[in-house]
Amino acid sequence: MKITGVNGFINKLPGAQEVNKPTSTKFGNMLTDFVKQVNTDQNNSRQMTKDLIEGKDVELHEVMIAGQKAKTSLELLIELRNKTLDMFKELQRIQ
């Protein structure tokens, strides 16, 4: 029985080509997409609250869930920003 390397097998797997792409652009795109999603969550929560106040057909629990989702995603974005700034300051200190 001949044992071959896994490199040929790995390259044939779905998504294997994405591994070879530069990570900086993927990370930048991921952050951009996350900021857009946070903005969408905030706008959705604001609109649902407005609809509830105006008496439109919106359930209270849906408004509360949208508000909590918007709050949680914003808090996560703020923590990511804080950790990124801490990392940048640490890198500057090292140099």
Render each residue's pLDDT in the chain as its tens digit; 95 residues.
555 555 555 555 555 555 556 666 787 888 899 999 999 999 999 999 999 999 999 999 999 999 999 999 999 999 999 999 999 999 999 98
SS3 call for 76: helix
Residues 63-92 as b/e (b if ≥16 CB within 10 A, e otherwise) read: beebbeebeebeeebeeeeeeeeeeeeeee
SS3 call for 6: coil
pLDDT of residue 31: 87
Q: What is the pTM of this model?
A: 0.68
